[in-house]
Structure 1
Amino acid sequence: MKFFTAAVAAAAGLSAVGTIHAQSLPACSSVYTRKELLSLTPTEWSTVSGVLNAMQRNGWFAWFSYLHTQWFTQIHNQSQFFPFHRRFVYEWERVARLFNPAYVQPYWDEMRDYRAPATSPVLSSSWAGGNGQGTNRCVLNGVQAGWTMTYQSSHCLQRNFGNNGQPGPWYSPEYISSILQRSTTMDSFRSQIEYSLHGIVHINMGGDMATRASPNDWLFMLHHANIDRLWWQWQKAGHLWTMDGRNFDGNAMTLNTNIVYYNEPVRAVMQLGNGNMCYQYASDPVRRRSLLGNLEDLIESVLDLDDLKEWFPETAKGSNKPGLPAPAPAPAPAPTPVIAVANGRVIPYPKELPDSWVVSMGGDLDSAHRVRDDARKFVNAMKKAGYKSPI
């Protein structure tokens, strides 16, 4: 059974406590779908851009930047990270829908653009706009072109792409797939995502996105909708009610712990399509074929290599078909196979989070270094297997 495409029944495998919580969250009468940004229709994009301009005029960008700044240390580097940001993006979306009920928050699937992020259509003038220009690095195109932000002080919306305007590479879809499969606790999954894809997008977009007031840039909402989507994928794979690790106060994080600022229990945001979380994510964006499913087919073809079973344990389990006789003893190792992928390329090492930025954001250097080393080991394993990525 495919790890990314298998439907996980809401009640399957839940503890008694989890079942009680599931029953306490009524199913939504209707559910709207968050889509990848580039799959929006012209009408949908017109709705989104109109609402964003209205929210800027009415001070909402400043308000959400203020909240994120005020609570920054309580919502990063520990288990508030996923619940808070899910609730935060939902609150943004809820306010946006007061301006126009047709507004639905899109997401940016940054993994698709990991090799050369600056060339992403998302960062074109037709959508979110690109790098800042001039001495002040002001964003002059896209939906926020020429905006003046008011928090923390009056300034143009700024972006300053890393590596002199050519950030990247980021973290590959294959590596994020591996994190989804290997993480057995919420805290380990949180740390792996927070110090890989989450952090590198913030620092490499630069400007406002690299500060605690990052919600000044709408890229924040696109980015964190995608981070939320990845958490939901992990939840659906047998971790629906998994909440562990520590809270910002050092106490254990549980389903009954209140989400910072919102004074609501974590369990209130754990199940999409239930309670107030009346949204879902599109599973197959329009602009390209299903990404992770295709990669899984490729990866599965090299799972006879023990080192890749370590990186993709769920895919390895899925390749064991029930009811078949035990396989014959393995023959002597063959030469490392090269996976034939049209125009495939070796996965590059991802850029690292600068230690100075991790410290300035109140992060944990040991955690950041563990993720850095893990990502490098992953790339080495995929190179050894002869894997060539189509992305």
Structure 2
Amino acid sequence: MRSFALVLGLAMACTQQAAGLTPPADAAPYTACADITVRKEIRSLSSAEWKAYESAVQQSQKDKWVDWFGYIHNRLAVYAHGNSNFFTFHRKYTRDYENVLKKYDSSVVLPYWNAMVDFQSPSSSVVLGSEYLGGNGNSDTNCVTDGLASNWNLIYPENHCLKRQYSGSGSIPAWHSPEFITSVLQVSKTYADLRAGIENSIHGAVHLGLGGDMDTMYSPMDPVFWLHHANCDRLWAQWQAISPNDRTYMYDGTDSSGKTVSLDDTILASDVPVVSVMRLGYGDMCYTYDTIQAAKGNATALVKRQKCNKSPDQATQAVRNLPPEVLSTYYPSFASNKAINPLENEMPSIVPGQPMAADVKAAATFVPPKPNEKLRGKMPVPSTLTNKWITMMSGNVTEVREIEERACAMVDALNKAGYLSPYMVN
């Protein structure tokens, strides 16, 4: 088995003076990246980009990197979940994996999966089809037999095929909607707030929904893991970029031992401090996301606050038309009746539904399906996390149930207002 030191070697960070946003006085500065790549939503990749990514992943699996990352996650999971280590550990962890893939093909960039878009009927998403990541395991063994990881054989924690078992039964209940994640982005005032809101909602729902290996501590052995955690990282990055001067280096809450966290803390399984991953575009964090506008020489942050949307899209307008008491509770930014920073609004994130959309000339003008009027006021309540999952993730039951209660209450309020989600088309 290769030494994890090699992975760490791929994530070296410079300590030269950085231009731009000044880190806290006691934090080491990091130099700006010369080249910043853009992580895209999987459905917006071209066929060439997808094939390059697929090939690198297949090679990494043959070289047992998939098993190695599964081993590392399994050993550290109790420390990396249910506390403030969640975002920081997984940011470096996904970057380490991306750097491994780049050793096979330097053009490869880790994509993300915006699973919220598919919240109504996750199993029908093209992302879980044969063109991309494959679907449910077969009925006899739960082995995945189509898509990127078709017939994978893994050696950790013992020899086995890659397994999926949708929600343990063969079907996946609803996940958390773009409407709910938009609410989390708007109501979260601290890093700890955001971590709890994302980890205990869409993060856990996707893991449990796919089941099989994703419902274990060695879940990185399923290729869905990386795209899913890239999406969680994207949401953190967007939240940071909403107010970069305040949030880029905001790090609060406690670690797994209950100790108050600090930017000087060493990231799990590494020799680098937390501060080294806080700012995208600096040190080894040489990437951004397609939903974030990368700054070129901007002195305030890697990501600039995009121009406020003065002409809200139809989906956003539907939310803004909700009763004032609903807006003030779940969408304080919308309630202010001011121009909205696009980074705290997941509502316009509908992506083309066809695979390899970048190959289609008409993709730029693709019009998503119209919402089904018969489903007005019938938004489903998102699935809840099991006690077994919460225990495995070292989660706080009270914290988890409070997030779930808020999600249910939001759905109830929207349904009572006769709201029709633009994502409910089936």
Fold in common (TM above 0.5): yes
* Matched ranges for 1:48-63 at <5 A: 48-63=53-68
Q: How does 1:185-334 map to 2 (within 5 A)?
A: 185-238=190-243, 239-283=247-291, 294-302=314-322, 305-319=324-338
Instruction: Give the letter aligned to residue 86 of structure 1.
Output: R
d(CA) in 2 for partners of 1:50, 1:58: 12
Identity of aligned residues (%): 36
- 1:1-391 residue pairs with structure 2 within 5 A? 18=24, 24-162=29-167, 164-238=169-243, 239-283=247-291, 294-302=314-322, 305-319=324-338, 343-344=372-373, 345=375, 346-391=378-423
Q: CA deviation at 1:125?
A: 0.7
1:204-255 C-alpha deviation (Å, 9 max, x unpaired) = 1000000000011000001000000011111111222210000223221121
CA contact (8 A) 2:36 2:288 kept: yes
Q: Which amino acid aligns with 1:263?
A: D
- Give the aligned length: 353
Partner-residue secondary structure (3-state), 1:165: coil
- Three-state SS of the structure 1 residue aligned to 2:336 is helix
* Unmatched runs of 5 consecutive residues or more in structure 1: 1-9, 285-289, 322-340
For 1:342 and 1:191, how far apart are their aligned partners in 2? Answer: 30
Deviation at 1:356, TM superposition (A): 2.4
Between the aligned partners of 2:114 and 2:313, the Cα distance in structure 1 is 15
Distance (whole Å) between structure 1 residues aligned to residue 187 and residue 206 of structure 2: 22
Shift of 1:318: 4.7
* TM-superposed deviation, 1:32: 0.6
Shift of 1:343: 2.7
Letter in structure 2 aligned against 1:249: S
**Is 240-249 or 85-94 further displaced after alignment?**
240-249
**How far off is 1:308 after superposition?**
1.8
- Alpha-carbon distance in 1 for matches of 2:155, 2:405: 39
State the distance in 2 between where 1:250 and 1:350 align. 29
Mapped contact 1:162–1:206 kept (Cα < 8 A): yes
- Give the structure 1 partner of residue 301 of structure 2: none
1:11-57 superposed Cα distances (whole Å, 9 cap, x missing partner):
99x8x754785x92222111111111111111111111111111011
Unpaired runs of at least 5, structure 2? 1-17, 293-308, 341-369
- Matched position secondary structure for 1:276: coil
Q: Using the alignment, how far apart are the partners of 1:320 and 1:169 within structure 2?
A: 31
Answer whether contact 2:88 2:277 (CA < 8 A) is retained.
yes
The structure-2 alpha-carbon separation of the partners of 1:307 and 1:255, relative to structure 1 and needing over 3 Å to count, comes to same
In 2 relative to 1, CA 294–281 (structure 1 residues): closer, same or farther, beyond 3 Å? farther
- Deviations along 1:287-342, one digit per CA (max 9) or x if unpaired, are xxx9x96533321233x512322211122235379xxxxxxxxxxxxxxxxxxx85
Secondary structure (helix, strand or coil) at the match of 2:197 reads: helix
Q: Go from structure 1 to structure 2 and tell me whether the alpha carbon gap of 1:11 and 1:31 turns closer, same or farther (over 3 Å shift).
A: closer
CA distance in 2, matches of 1:314, 1:240: 20
TM-score (norm 1): 0.85
1:326 is aligned to none
Instruction: Report the Cα offset of residue 188 of structure 1.
Output: 1.5
Classify the secondary structure of the residue corresponding to 1:357.
Answer: helix
- Letter aligned with residue 312 of structure 1: Y
Aligned partner letter, 2:330 = W
Q: Is the 8 A contact 2:172 2:209 kept in 1?
A: yes
The letter of the residue matching 2:234 is R
What amino acid maps onto 1:29 in structure 2?
A
Helix, strand or coil at the partner of 1:363: coil
